Each structure stands twice: as structure tokens, then as C-alpha cells.
């Protein structure tokens, strides 16, 4: 592994597979244990530096670090908006002086983790930056796919929703491609970035046509407010054309699974009965997130497993 | 005033001659001249050009003297071979009154390194709603002829029409920052393959081109002069070519950075499998760095004269405005001291322009656009000939050097050329017969 995990492109196939294998080993080691804790990172300090509210991601990283016995500091930099640009560097230098071994950063500005990595000596883990990437989400999604379907290579994944603004989509496209999956993006043309034609994916505007071929359907969160900037006419029309409801789910093959990175807009991009169905991996994804983040912190800070 | 005898200089890169300067003017150009009592300056091997003229600099004074002052910017300009620079109006307070433009003009005269020519704002406070007192600025001591809301587009088509018409009364020109604001809300970089991957909001080429298309039609309709600032796309070059073929009175400029750099800079560099320097805001600029295809079209447009001038858009920024997240950083880059070097690298070394072409695009035409060519003793962009004002620059075309931002005269350090080796060293600069730069050292 490299020093940082800033984007999915930092991982080649061997690296990515190592993370997934390590997560599996950690799961196996902790299975059935009463005390779910490993001593690996005792004495190391992990800082969760969150410039955006994200309770679920922050808790997941916190739990991951604690289960590895690291000291965890939560630094909620709330109120430190992008407009106060200097604060990121000052905060970075402060954390550096305090001896942080790893900084897990969530930030509203694309590329903020890259700048942070430029200023500190410790490891930087991107926990979501603007509309750029969220690499540990992609890793936990790949891990979930592998657990459910037994492999990632050759798996056909349909990613549907607001690709334009989605860091989850960018990380998944890159990582799933690295791991050999075939990715199809489905969205209204307004929610696909100009330049998407250069991505290693198929692009479709028709969800109904894409579903029967899919092994995995990954729904992206779509903010209803996007209609105010004319990305689509109304939440109702979006839901009708691109939402996953029971009728659409019935067109999936028997083993196909439904994923969502959360938080969901039930009734918008995903119907409640789909989210709660047996195909849904949504709750499982949350649990897998802790294991994968443990693997990432372990590999960045502790070295390769024995 | 003593005479200066420059020996062995090559005007426009052509055969060596000696040149005598006296009382602010060129008095003699010829072979093997001898002038008793003159200061001799051996310029063997150096290319002699008319002093460069910049249509587009930001000197930040008044308001942001921590980033640049008229004096420090003037020094950077002289070291870059310039003898006149136009200072943009987006200062604080905005240069939208006769008082502010006269203040900037006087500061330039006091610094005495280049002629600082103020640009007046088109609208009050750059707000795009009400015309500033353009006539008062034109009639002031600063003698403003170029008007621009640069940094902001004059987006209202009716207001733009009126501005174009109004400045005809004093032979002014509106220099448009062509950016349709509704198409660039939150825009961070060129919209294309790289913005998609980097997750940065795109600044589409059409936002520039749509305004240029509108404005050349407006200029044609009212018979006014239009100048287009920092043209950055291949489509813009095509539109300008079309407009000029129709006889529209339009001129255009391109920046050195748009001739050399592309949006690939935003991605940083991969060295040994590790990517470094991604999202470095030193490469954030408005309009943004574009693609190789755009760079090629801009070079071709400058070569064939579709684009009239190279203008630096020198934009100094304090460290805290650049050492930040990409989205929080201010757009803009330094340019005055490397402009000629970049033109040598992109246009001369490639065979697209000869030295006469460089003189035309960096001195003659920009001076004509700003109406500086007819100012008698104070004129710029004039031929290298007896009787003309002695505004001259001597360039060593062969020397290559690595750019060190710490060594620049600007008060700011945001050079996109840091660490890059570029050809062409400005050795001496003369403003009205007085050396402002000798042997690469500013004389004030």
C-alpha cells in the first residue's frame, strides 16, 4: 500500500484485492469474539477531521480505529467553510504538530485530501471530498459484492442516479473497473458529467433496459433540490424514470443484489419495499464498512498482514 | 542627458546594428557608429525589440497592496521587457472614477519603471448594472481609452451595447471578459474529461464563445470597437476569424499561460506511480486552462493574426489566497516576467512567429488597441527608427533558465511556471532612453 488513500486510482488490482482480503481476515478473526478488538494500532493516533457533517462515515471510521486499539480524536471542523480556505492548512499543521499518524478527512471541496497530503507527513485517508471521490465507500461496496456474489471480476454493475455530483460513483467506477467488473451508468443526461464518454463504462439513459442484465444495481442518492437547477423537472418524474421500485426490481435476475451507499431518499430513488427486500445489502454495507476501514487503516499504518 | 550607444544589437532578430539613444529618442540606427561621450552598451547577440506593451495586468493597488503594488508590478513588468502596462480596474476601490484612475496613473509615473495606463471600469463597482463615468475617465490625466469590468463579464446585452456605443465618442474600446455567468455558476476548471474525473464543476467553452458571438454582432451593429480579453478556446478563435472576415472592428488577446499550459496541470504529476501536486491552486485561473486542441488553435490564431496580442493577465495573489483547497483559492497567475519567455517557447521556437511577429503581437498591436501609438513623446509600440521614442528591450534569445518564484519582483509568488525551464532572457529595458533594467537588474 502507498502512504495515502486519496482516490480509488491509488489502488492497483493487487492493492485493492489486499484490502478486501485483509477485511475478510479481520472479519474472520473477530467472528464470534466477545471482545471485538485487535491490538494492532496500539499507541497510534488517528484523527477524524470532518469538515462536513457525516455521522455514519465518522462513526464507521471511529469504530474501525478503536477496534484496532488506536487512539482516536474526532475533530469536527464545523463552521470551517470552504470560504475560510486557510483554516485547512492551519489545521493540518496543528494536527501534524500533535503527531497524528493518520488523518481521515471529509471535506466539501474536491481535492482537499490531496492538499492535506501535501502538507502533512502522516497518512491521509479520503473519507469523501466534494464531488470527487469516496474510496472507502467503493472498497466496502466491492467487499459486499464479493461476499454476496463470490467475485467482482466479470460482475455486471449498474450504477443509477446523480453521477454528476456523486463521489461514490467516481470511486466505484474506478475501483470496480480495476477489479474487472463491467459498469453501466444509468442517469438522465443532465446528471452525467461532460467527459463521461472517456470513463471505462457503458452509459445508458434507460434503467428498464439495463436492469435485466445486471448482477448488481447500485442506487445513488438524488437530492430533490436538484430540480431547482433544472437537472430534472420534478421528483415525481425522476422517480418514475430512474427510481427502483418493486416492479423494476422484479425484472432483475434471481441472484441480483440492490445496493445503496446511504443515506437513502425512500420514495425518491428507491422504494421502501425494495430497500427492505432480501436483495438489499444496505444494512450489510454499513457493517462491511467498518471491516474495510479497519483493513485500510491497518495496511496504511501497520504494514502487510502476516 | 548623456547619449547611449548600443552596439551589435539585432533589431527584430535581423542583422546587427548600432543604435544611439538621446533625449528619450532614438537618434541614429546604423553600422559602426561612434558617439563621443556616449555610454556604450555591448549588445552583441541580443535581439532588439520595441518595448513590450501589456493590455492586461492586475497591479492590485489600491486595495490589495499585500499582493502587489503599482511599484512592484512595474518592476516585474520592466524586468519582463515591458515599457507600458494597462492596469485593470478591479481594485478596491474600483477604478470607476476619474479620481481612482488618476491615482493609479500617478503612482505609475512615480515608480517610473513603465508607463502604467489605467483601464476604467465599464460599470459602477463592476456591478454590471450602471455605466461608470467613462467620459470623465477618458478626459482625466490618465487618458483612459480601454474600459473593462475584467473579472466580471458585462453580461447584460443592452448595457454592453450602450457601452460599445458610448466609448465611440472618445475612440475608446470595451475589453470584454467573455463569460456567460449563468453557465459558469461555481465553475472551477475547464469542463471536459478532467473536470469529470476530478469532480470539479466545469467551466464550459460555450460560456466564453456565446458571449464573443453576441458581442461581435453587437459591435458590428453599432460600428464600435470591441476587444476580447484572454481568449481561451478553439471555438473563440473560429468566431473571431469569422467576425474579422466580416469587417467587425474586433481585436483579441491571448495570455502566455493559455499558449503553454493545459488542464492536465490540475491533475498534478505522476512520479514513480505516486501522483503529486494534484489540485494545486497555482493552476486555477479564469478563464481556465483548456486542452491541447485549444492551445494549438490559440497558437495558430496568434500566428495568423486572428488574435492580435499577447496580454499577461498578470494576477498576483497573497499566499493565503492560493495555499488552500482548490475551490477556496482565487483564480489568477503571475505573468509579467515570463510572458516573453513563454512566447519564445511556444511561438518562436516552434516557427510560428518570427521576431517581427513577436514585436507586432507584444508591442505594436497592443499599443494600437490602447491608442498608445499616437501619443508623440509618450508613444509606445513604435518602429525602431530614428526620431521614435526610445522604448526598447534587448533579449538574449538563447539562454534558458529555470523559473524560481522566490526570485521574482512581484510581491506574490503564484507563478505557474515554477521549476519550469524557459528560453529568452530580458537583459536590458529602456523607457524613453533611460535604462529601467540593465544586465537583468532593475534600476529602481
Task: Show the 3-state SS of chain A.
Answer: CCCCECCHHHCCHHHHHHHHHHHHHHHHHHCCCCCCCCCCCCCCEEEEEECCCCHHHHHHHHHHHHHCCCEEEEEECCCCCCCCCHHHHHHHHHHHHCCCCEEEEEECCCCHHHHHHHHCCCEEEEEEECCCECHHHHHHHHHHHHHHHCCCCCCEEEEECCCCCCHHHHHHHHHHHHCCCEEEEECCHHHCCCCHHHCCCEEECCHHHHHHHCCEEEECCCCHHHHHHCCCCCHHHHHHHHCECHHHHCCCCCCCEEECCCCCCECCCECHHHHCCCCECHHHHHHHHHHHHHHHHHHHHHCCCC
* Catalytic residue status for A56: yes
In tens, the pLDDT along B389-411 reads 999 999 999 899 999 999 999 99
Cβ–Cβ of B196/A133 closer than 8 Å? no
Cβ–Cβ of B192/A109 closer than 8 Å? no
> Is residue A306 over pLDDT 50?
no
Whether residue A265 is found in the same domain as residue A187: yes
Question: Among residues B313, B321, B396, B404, which one is catalytic?
Answer: B313
pLDDT at B1: 64
Cβ–Cβ of B279/A115 closer than 8 Å? yes
Whether residue A155 is found in the same domain as residue A278: yes
> Is residue B18 over pLDDT 80?
yes
Contacts of B184 in chain A (CB under 8 A): none
Whether residue A44 is found in the same domain as residue A168: no
Mean pLDDT of chain A: 93
Neighbours of A39 (CB within 10 A): 8
Cβ–Cβ of B326/A132 closer than 8 Å? no
Distance CA B29, CA B5 (A): 10
Cβ–Cβ of B196/A198 closer than 8 Å? yes
**Which of B193, B328, B329, B331 is the mutation pick for testing A, counting most A CBs within 10 A?**
B328
Contacts of A106 in chain B (CB under 8 A): none
Q: Kindly report the nearest CA distance between residue A82 and chain B, in angstroms.
A: 5
Whether residue A128 is found in the same domain as residue A145: no
In tens, the pLDDT along A199-245 reads 999 999 999 999 999 999 999 999 888 888 899 999 999 999 999 99
* Catalytic residue status for B313: yes
Cβ–Cβ of A194/B191 closer than 8 Å? yes
Residue B152 labelled as part of a binding site: no
> Is residue A83 over pLDDT 70?
no
Cβ atoms of A281 and A141 within 8 Å: the answer is no
Of the partner residues A112, A133, A198, the one whose CB lies closest to the CB of residue B325: A112
Whether residue A212 is found in the same domain as residue A104: no
| Tally of domains within chain A | 2
Contacts of B204 in chain A (CB under 8 A): 194
With bands split at pLDDT 50, 70 and 90, how would you rate the model's confidence at B380? very high
Residues 169-198 of B with CB under 8 A from A: 188, 191-198
Query: Is the Cβ of A203 closer than 8 Å to some Cβ of chain B?
Result: no
pLDDT at B158: 98
Q: Give the residue on A whose Cα is nearest the Cα of B205.
A: A194
**What percent of chain A has pLDDT above 70?**
95
Contacts of A84 in chain B (CB under 8 A): 328
Query: Is the Cβ of A85 closer than 8 Å to some Cβ of chain B?
Result: yes
Q: Where are the domains of chain B?
A: 51-381
Of the partner residues B198, B280, B328, the one whose CB lies closest to the CB of residue A85: B328
Cβ atoms of A65 and A34 within 8 Å: the answer is no
In tens, the pLDDT along B217-272 reads 999 999 999 999 999 999 999 999 999 999 999 999 999 999 999 999 999 987 77
Torsions phi, psi of A283, nearest 5? -70, -40
Sheet with B52-57: list strands edge to edge: B52-57, B82-87, B115-118
Give domain status of residue A166, yes or no.
yes
Q: How far is CA A97 from the centre of its chain?
A: 29
Domain limits for position A14: 8-132+286-302
Query: Is the Cβ of A195 closer than 8 Å to some Cβ of chain B?
Result: yes
Q: Give the residue on A whose Cα is nearest the Cα of B188.
A: A110
Query: Is the Cβ of B268 closer than 8 Å to some Cβ of chain A?
Result: yes
**What percent of chain B has pLDDT above 70?**
100
With bands split at pLDDT 50, 70 and 90, how would you rate the model's confidence at A82? very low
Contacts of B193 in chain A (CB under 8 A): 195, 198
Average pLDDT, integer, range A55-73: 95
Q: Kindly report the nearest CA distance between residue A39 and chain B, in angstroms.
A: 30
Contacts of A6 in chain B (CB under 8 A): 275
Whether residue A109 is found in the same domain as residue A155: no
Query: Is the Cβ of B326 closer than 8 Å to some Cβ of chain A?
Result: yes
pLDDT at A2: 83
Cβ–Cβ of A83/B328 closer than 8 Å? yes
Cβ atoms of A228 and A167 within 8 Å: the answer is no
pLDDT at A91: 87
Of the partner residues B191, B204, B324, the one whose CB lies closest to the CB of residue A88: B324
Question: Among residues A22, A45, A57, A184, which one is catalytic?
Answer: A57
Question: What would the grid cell of residue A193 be?
Answer: 458529467
CATH of the domain at A199: 3.40.50.1370
Query: Is the Cβ of B293 closer than 8 Å to some Cβ of chain A?
Result: no
Mean pLDDT of chain B: 97
> Is residue A305 over pLDDT 50?
no
**Superfamily, domain B51-381:** Metal-dependent hydrolases (3.20.20.140)
Contacts of A198 in chain B (CB under 8 A): 193, 196-197
Cβ atoms of A177 and A144 within 8 Å: the answer is no
Give domain status of residue A46, yes or no.
yes
> Is residue A97 over pLDDT 80?
yes
> Is residue A106 over pLDDT 50?
yes
In tens, the pLDDT along B267-293 reads 998 777 677 889 999 999 999 999 999
> Is residue B360 over pLDDT 90?
yes
Whether residue A260 is found in the same domain as residue A290: no
With bands split at pLDDT 50, 70 and 90, how would you rate the model's confidence at A81? very low
In tens, the pLDDT along B152-182 reads 999 999 999 999 999 999 999 999 999 999 9
> Complex ipTM, two decimals?
0.93
Average pLDDT, integer, range B353-364: 98
Average pLDDT, integer, range A68-95: 76
> Is residue A304 over pLDDT 50?
no
Crossing angle for the helix pair A135-149 and A167-178, nearest 10 degrees? Answer: 50
Query: Is the Cβ of B321 closer than 8 Å to some Cβ of chain A?
Result: yes
Cβ–Cβ of A193/B202 closer than 8 Å? yes
Of the partner residues B191, B196, B278, the one whose CB lies closest to the CB of residue A111: B278
> Is residue A84 over pLDDT 80?
no
Q: What separation, in Å, do the N-terminal and C-terminal C-alpha atoms of chain B show?
A: 18
Q: Give the residue on B whose Cα is nearest the Cα of A114.
A: B278
With bands split at pLDDT 50, 70 and 90, how would you rate the model's confidence at A119? very high
**Which of B184, B197, B272 is the mutation pick for testing A, counting most A CBs within 10 A?**
B197
pLDDT at A276: 96
Query: Is the Cβ of B263 closer than 8 Å to some Cβ of chain A?
Result: no
Cβ–Cβ of A112/B194 closer than 8 Å? no
In tens, the pLDDT along B87-141 reads 999 999 999 999 999 999 999 999 999 999 999 999 999 999 999 999 999 999 9
Question: Among residues A44, A106, A260, A279, which one is catalytic?
Answer: A106
Contacts of A51 (CB under 8 A, 6+ apart): A77, A78, A80, A88, A105, A106, A107, A108, A112
* Catalytic residue status for A84: yes
Give domain status of residue A3, yes or no.
no
* Catalytic residue status for A146: no
In tens, the pLDDT along A142-191 reads 999 999 999 999 999 999 999 999 999 999 999 999 999 999 999 999 99
Q: Give the residue on B whose Cα is nearest the Cα of A119.
A: B323
Q: Give the residue on A whose Cα is nearest the Cα of B267.
A: A111
Contacts of A164 (CB under 8 A, 6+ apart): A131, A187, A190, A191, A192, A193, A231
**Which of A174, A195, A197, A220 is the mutation pick for testing B, counting most B CBs within 10 A?**
A195
**Which of A89, A130, A133 is the mutation pick for testing B, counting most B CBs within 10 A?**
A130
With bands split at pLDDT 50, 70 and 90, how would you rate the model's confidence at A75? confident
Amino acid at each position: 500500500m502507498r502512504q495515502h488513500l486519496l482516490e480509488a486510482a491509488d489502488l492497483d488490482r493487487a492493492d485493492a484485492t489486499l484490502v478486501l482480503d485483509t477485511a475478510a481476515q479481520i472479519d474472520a478473526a473477530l467472528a464470534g469474539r466477545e471482545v471485538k478488538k485487535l491490538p494492532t494500532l496500539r499507541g497510534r493516533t488517528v484523527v477524524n477531521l470532518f469538515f462536513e457533517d457525516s455521522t455514519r462515515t465518522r462513526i464507521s471510521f471511529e469504530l474501525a480505529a478503536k477496534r484496532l486499539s488506536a487512539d482516536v480524536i474526532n475533530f469536527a471542523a464545523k463552521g470551517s467553510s470552504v470560504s475560510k480556505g486557510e483554516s485547512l492548512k492551519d489545521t493540518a499543521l496543528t494536527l501534524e504538530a500533535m503527531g497524528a499518524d493518520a488523518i481521515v478527512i471529509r471535506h466539501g471541496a474536491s481535492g482537499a485530501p490531496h492538499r492535506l497530503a501535501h502538507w502533512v507527513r502522516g497518512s491521509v485517508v479520503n473519507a469523501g471530498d466534494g464531488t470527487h471521490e469516496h474510496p472507502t465507500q467503493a472498497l466496502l461496496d466491492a467487499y459486499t459484492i464479493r461476499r454476496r456474489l463470490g467475485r467482482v471480476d466479470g460482475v455486471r454493475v449498474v450504477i443509477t442516479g446523480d453521477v454528476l455530483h456523486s463521489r461514490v460513483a467516481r470511486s466505484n467506477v474506478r475501483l470496480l473497473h480495476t477489479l474487472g467488473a463491467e459498469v453501466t451508468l444509468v442517469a438522465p443526461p443532465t446528471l452525467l458529467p461532460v467527459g463521461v464518454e472517456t470513463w471505462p463504462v457503458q452509459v445508458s439513459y434507460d434503467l428498464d433496459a439495463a436492469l435485466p442484465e445486471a448482477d448488481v444495481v447500485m442506487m445513488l442518492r438524488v437530492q430533490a433540490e436538484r430540480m431547482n437547477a433544472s437537472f430534472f423537472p420534478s421528483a415525481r418524474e425522476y422517480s418514475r424514470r430512474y427510481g427502483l421500485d418493486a416492479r423494476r426490481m422484479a425484472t432483475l435476475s434471481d441472484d441480483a443484489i440492490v445496493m445503496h451507499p446511504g443515506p437513502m431518499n425512500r420514495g425518491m430513488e428507491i422504494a421502501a419495499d425494495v430497500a427492505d427486500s432480501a436483495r438489499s445489502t444496505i444494512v450489510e454495507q454499513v457493517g462491511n464498512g467498518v471491516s474495510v476501514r479497519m483493513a485500510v487503516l491497518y495496511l496504511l499504518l501497520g504494514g502487510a498482514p502476516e | 542627458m548623456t547619449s547611449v550607444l548600443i552596439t551589435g544589437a539585432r533589431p527584430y532578430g535581423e542583422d546587427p546594428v548600432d543604435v544611439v539613444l538621446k533625449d528619450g529618442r532614438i537618434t541614429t540606427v546604423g553600422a559602426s557608429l561612434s558617439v563621443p561621450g556616449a555610454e556604450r552598451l555591448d549588445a552583441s547577440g541580443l535581439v532588439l525589440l520595441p518595448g513590450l506593451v501589456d493590455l492586461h495586468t492586475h497591479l492590485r493597488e489600491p486595495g490589495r497592496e499585500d499582493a502587489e503594488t503599482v511599484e512592484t508590478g512595474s518592476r516585474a513588468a520592466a524586468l519582463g521587457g515591458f515599457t507600458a502596462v494597462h492596469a485593470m480596474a478591479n481594485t478596491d476601490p474600483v477604478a470607476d472614477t476619474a479620481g481612482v484612475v488618476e491615482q493609479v496613473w500617478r503612482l505609475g509615473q512615480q515608480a517610473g519603471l513603465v508607463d502604467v495606463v489605467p483601464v476604467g471600469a465599464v460599470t459602477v463597482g463592476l456591478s454590471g448594472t450602471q455605466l461608470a463615468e467613462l467620459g470623465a475617465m477618458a478626459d482625466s490625466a490618465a487618458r483612459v481609452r480601454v474600459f473593462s469590468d475584467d473579472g466580471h463579464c458585462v453580461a447584460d446585452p443592452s448595457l454592453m451595447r450602450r457601452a460599445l456605443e458610448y466609448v465611440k465618442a472618445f475612440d475608446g474600446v470595451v475589453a470584454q471578459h467573455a463569460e456567460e455567468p449563468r453557465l459558469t455558476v461555481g465553475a472551477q476548471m475547464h469542463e471536459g474529461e478532467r473536470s469529470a474525473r476530478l469532480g470539479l464543476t466545469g467551466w464550459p467553452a460555450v460560456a466564453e464563445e456565446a458571449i464573443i458571438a453576441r458581442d461581435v454582432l453587437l459591435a458590428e451593429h453599432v460600428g464600435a470597437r470591441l476587444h476580447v480579453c484572454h481568449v481561451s478556446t478553439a471555438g473563440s478563435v473560429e468566431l473571431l476569424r469569422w467576425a474579422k472576415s466580416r469587417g467587425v472592428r474586433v481585436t483579441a488577446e491571448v495570455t502566455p499561460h493559455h499558449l503553454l499550459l493545459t488542464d492536465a496541470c490540475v491533475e498534478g504529476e505522476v512520479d514513480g506511480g505516486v501522483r503529486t501536486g494534484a489540485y494545486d491552486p497555482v493552476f486555477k485561473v479564469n478563464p481556465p486552462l483548456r486542452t491541447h486542441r485549444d492551445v494549438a488553435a490559440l497558437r495558430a490564431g496568434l500566428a495568423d493574426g486572428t488574435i492580435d496580442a499577447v496580454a499577461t493577465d498578470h494576477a498576483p495573489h497573497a499566499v493565503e489566497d492560493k495555499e488552500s483547497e482548490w475551490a477556496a483559492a482565487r483564480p489568477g497567475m503571475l505573468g509579467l516576467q515570463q510572458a516573453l519567455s513563454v512566447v519564445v517557447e511556444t511561438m518562436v521556437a516552434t516557427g510560428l512567429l518570427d521576431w517581427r511577429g513577436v514585436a507586432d503581437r507584444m508591442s505594436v498591436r497592443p499599443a494600437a488597441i490602447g491608442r498608445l501609438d499616437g501619443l508623440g513623446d509618450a508613444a509606445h509600440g513604435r518602429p525602431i527608427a530614428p526620431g521614435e521614442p526610445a522604448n526598447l528591450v534587448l533579449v538574449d534569445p538563447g539562454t534558458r533558465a529555470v523559473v524560481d518564484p522566490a526570485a521574482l519582483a512581484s510581491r506574490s509568488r503564484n507563478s505557474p511556471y515554477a521549476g519550469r525551464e524557459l528560453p529568452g532572457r530580458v537583459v536590458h529595458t529602456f523607457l524613453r532612453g533611460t535604462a529601467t533594467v540593465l544586465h537583468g537588474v532593475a534600476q529602481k
